[in-house]
Amino acid sequence: MSNTTLSTSIGMLPILIAPNQILKTRARPVKPTDSDLVRDLIPRMFATMYDAPGIGLAAPQISHSLRLVVIDLMPKDKKQPYSLINPEIVASSEELAAREEGCLSLPGQYAEITRPARVKVRYLDETGAKREIEADGLLSACLQHEIDHLDGVLFVDHLSTLKRNMIMRRLAKEQRAKQDERSR
């Protein structure tokens, strides 16, 4: 049984690996007619994210071009899940903060990324209620990283062309090696 089949059979979803065109495409807003799909996706996105393991996952990473994000930083190893529908950054600080970032769609690749230190994000929760969250530190970086995914932006797009190309070449080489290993 392939990994994809196994993952899907227990509710998890395959994560797209860069470069995949879906990851570079701006996701469309979630509409009321998407409510059944969103209700189905949210628990499966959390299961996929926890299994990876990761702290955030955007719908485009699992082949759904919807403005939907799940996040859980697991503070003190306790689940604290956020599901954000149609999130938008409505305010950000002028102060910047640099932090090492990675991404489930660029496995094993990391780089220091500079972003606003604090953000305020407006979104809808699973019930359709309007919410706002103000964040700094890791949560701020994670929110910005995941919302970037909804706009077709990967963390490597914040790097110089040279650094981005180095990471993408290394990722492609590692993915080819994994593929070769699987086909043996």
Query: Is the distance from CB of 77 to CB of 70 less than 8 angstroms?
Result: no
Spatial CB neighbours of 8, under 8 Å, sequence gap ≥ 6: 14
94 is a catalytic site residue = no
Catalytic residue among 101, 112, 126, 146: 146
Beta carbons within 10 angstroms of residue 93's beta carbon: 14
Residues 6 or more apart whose CB falls under 8 angstroms from that of 43 comprise 11
Which sign, positive or negative, has the C-alpha torsion 102, 103, 107, 109? negative
* Integer Cα distance of 45 and 7 in angstroms: 12
In a 3-state reduction of DSSP, which class is residue 125? coil
- Please choose, from the candidates 47, 80, 71, the residue with its C-alpha nearest in 3D space to the C-alpha of residue 141: 71
- Token pair recorded at residue 83: 């599901």
Contact between residue 103 and residue 109 where contact means Cβ atoms under 8 Å apart: yes
Active site residues: 146
